[in-house]
Amino acid sequence: MRKFWSYGSPDKELHYYVSRQALIDRAVLKLVGENPEKGGHYITIWAPRQRGKTWVMFQTLFTLRDDPAFDILYIPLENYKMVTDVAEIVQGVTAEIANDLGLDTVPDTLHDVFKREQLSKPLILILDEFDALIPEAISKIVSVFRNVYFRRSQQSDKPSAERDYLLHGVALIGVRAVLGIENKTGSPFNVQHSLHIPNLTFEEVESMFKWYEQDSGQTVESAVIDKVFEETQGQPGLVGWLGELLTETYNEQNSALTPRDFEIAYSAAVDALPNANILNIVSKAKQAPHKQLLLRLFDTKEKLEFHYDDPDTNFLYMNGVIEEEIEDKTKRYIKFPCPFVQKRLFNYFAHEIIGQEGDLYPPFTDLSQTISETSLNIKNLLKLHEAYIQRNKSWLMKDAPRRKDLRVYEAVYHFNLYLYLNRFIRRRGGDVWPEFPTGNGQVDLMIRYAGQEYALEVKSFVDDYEYQKGLNQAARYGHKLGLKTVTLVLFIEAVDETSRKKYEVAYTHSETGVIVEPIFVIAE
């Protein structure tokens, strides 16, 4: 029986997969060319990691092999990632091409291997893991491709197979550097077309689970498929991993996979299990200076604009740490790629920056008005948290990361609140977890205690306009959760009693009837 797979490209005979035929057809058309006699294109296959670039190009390769008009070569370059000598890399690539083509001798230069005297017919070349090479080697190789391309363009009156150079089409996979970001002299590969590999659609994710149903006879409830897509946004590697956890590791072999099964598998994925894809994302996110951008992204005050040519944005985007959000077809902002990645990063930074230190409250604190066996008073709990900050601020924020103006990142307050609530509630048998409904800075903390759920929307207080907007957002979120009351937590550096009385007033949303209870927390 087939399996869900997240350890490299899936095997069509062994694993569940999505055909992605439209992408394959586009890649074939670009490499062969709209009119093959005129030549194909030199293309870059780009997307963040674990999006299925290599698999799409494998299928492209298999399709092209059926065409007798071309020689097709696929060469992975992972082995060159640790090589620092440009000449050694270029000569190695030249040798691999020559050997795979069955040439008697290895030409002296990479240019020479593409000459008509060496090749029997036009060549389509696919180089995988191209961005594993050092930037200088990338620049050298793509300069050769560019020169060959223009040499062939000067002979456009001849059929492709009769030109001096027979490099008909090129595909470079994973080519972050080729797009010019790391090339200080500018990208020499300005003749290339690009093919972006998107995430899976909901219908594609659903098709794999329906396929599993047919094979196994086990029903997968629609709510499970909805949650897989919602939490991964169709990222192929994560879909495959959650699919594996659901159908194998945490499958109790009941008649159906239910939301409870998803909850069990997902909690393990978030808190307990290593995954190469996620470990790579965390390793990239925690690197300086990129870490500062991630901490800013947790800020609820304003969205960050997405600019592909910004080095930090580009690095994090191509490594799957962030994604772009498009508004009105013209405005681009940075967001996290999916809730699952955001949860893993939130948990990582919370423990790395804050940790779990200090007493939650003095030993003889009366908690009777805060928590009982059957109820929880959120306002009083937040007052305890505020007192915790004020009592421990001499050391609590001492080593916290700070912005250029030396103020603590807003994210630090979110991490602190989450860990405080987590310690307080879990020791009493409850549960706390973060939710991220928008993909950017907004954080909602969910509490489950004594059979009840509580929602806390966390923001920084900016001004009256943002406050009013926050009330409505919180009400709609509470309505979506089926809650009658939701708490709006407003971090602020200082607040006078007059302002506290004005703003800490329960608000009833006219459309939904949800009551929003705003509460200030002094964080400095």
Sign (positive or negative) of CA dihedral 263, 264, 265, 270: positive
In angstroms, the CA 10 to CA 61 distance is: 15
- Helix, strand and coil in the chain, % to nearest 5: 45, 15, 40
Residue 342 inside a domain? The answer is no
Q: In 141-250, at which residue ranges do the beta strands (DSSP E only) sit? A: 167-173, 193-196, 219-220
In angstroms, the CA 478 to CA 484 distance is: 7
Q: What is the dihedral of CA 174, 86, 91, 72, to 10 degrees?
A: 10
In angstroms, the CA 26 to CA 42 distance is: 13
Clarify whether residues 190 and 207 are in a common domain. Answer: no
Clarify whether residues 115 and 212 are in a common domain. Answer: no
Residue 348 inside a domain? The answer is no
Give start and end residues of each alpha helix (H) in 397-452: 410-426
Clarify whether residues 238 and 140 are in a common domain. Answer: no
* Residue whose entry in the numeric block shows the structure tokens 């604190």: 365
Clarify whether residues 210 and 145 are in a common domain. Answer: no
Residue 287 inside a domain? The answer is no
Domain boundary pick from 163, 196, 229:
196
In angstroms, the CA 227 to CA 129 distance is: 32
* Residue whose entry in the numeric block shows the structure tokens 């009837």: 513
Note down pLDDT in tens along the chain; length 524 residues. Answer: 999 999 888 999 999 999 999 999 999 999 999 999 998 988 888 887 778 888 999 999 999 998 999 999 999 998 998 999 999 999 999 999 999 999 999 999 999 999 999 999 999 999 998 888 998 999 899 889 999 999 999 999 999 999 999 999 999 987 554 554 444 444 444 455 778 889 999 999 999 999 999 999 999 999 999 999 999 999 999 999 999 999 999 999 889 999 999 999 999 999 888 888 888 899 999 988 888 888 888 877 778 899 878 888 888 888 889 988 888 889 999 999 999 999 999 999 988 888 767 789 999 999 999 999 999 999 999 999 999 988 888 787 777 788 877 778 888 888 899 999 999 999 999 999 988 876 665 778 999 999 999 999 998 888 999 899 989 989 998 998 899 999 999 999 889 999 999 999 999 999 999 999 999 999 87
The tally of domains found in the chain comes to: 3
Residue 313 inside a domain? The answer is no
Clarify whether residues 495 and 450 are in a common domain. Answer: yes
Clarify whether residues 64 and 209 are in a common domain. Answer: no
Clarify whether residues 190 and 61 are in a common domain. Answer: yes
In angstroms, the CA 86 to CA 389 distance is: 54
Q: At what angle do helices 311-318 and 290-297 cross, to 10 degrees?
A: 80
Residue 280 inside a domain? The answer is no
Query: What pLDDT is stored for residue 217 in this prediction?
Result: 95
Residue 330: phi, psi to the nearest 5? -130, -20
Residues ≥6 apart with Cβ < 8 Å to 213:
219, 220
Domain boundary pick from 242, 273, 304:
273
In angstroms, the CA 226 to CA 419 distance is: 29
Clarify whether residues 176 and 246 are in a common domain. Answer: no
Could you give the C-alpha distances from 300 to 28, 407, 456, in angstroms and in order? Answer: 44, 15, 14
Give start and end residues of each alpha helix (H) in 397-463: 410-426
Copy the structure tokens of residue 482: 């089926």
Clarify whether residues 78 and 218 are in a common domain. Answer: no
Q: Which DSSP state fits 181?
A: S
Residue 27 inside a domain? The answer is yes
CB 494 within 8 A of CB 355: no
CATH number for position 159: 3.40.50.300
Clarify whether residues 386 and 510 are in a common domain. Answer: yes
The amino acid that residue 90 corresponds to is: V
Note down the domain range covering 162: 21-196
Domain boundary pick from 196, 215, 249:
196
Question: Other CB atoms closer than 10 Å to residue 114's CB: what's the count?
Answer: 27
C-alpha 405: how far from its chain's center?
29
Helix (H, G, I), strand (E, B) or coil at 274: coil
Residue 185 inside a domain? The answer is yes
Report the first-to-last Cα separation within the chain, whole angstroms.
58
Clarify whether residues 364 and 509 are in a common domain. Answer: yes
Residues ≥6 apart with Cβ < 8 Å to 359:
none
Clarify whether residues 248 and 373 are in a common domain. Answer: no
Q: Which helix or strand (DSSP H or E) is residue 204 part of?
A: helix 202-216
Residue 278 inside a domain? The answer is no
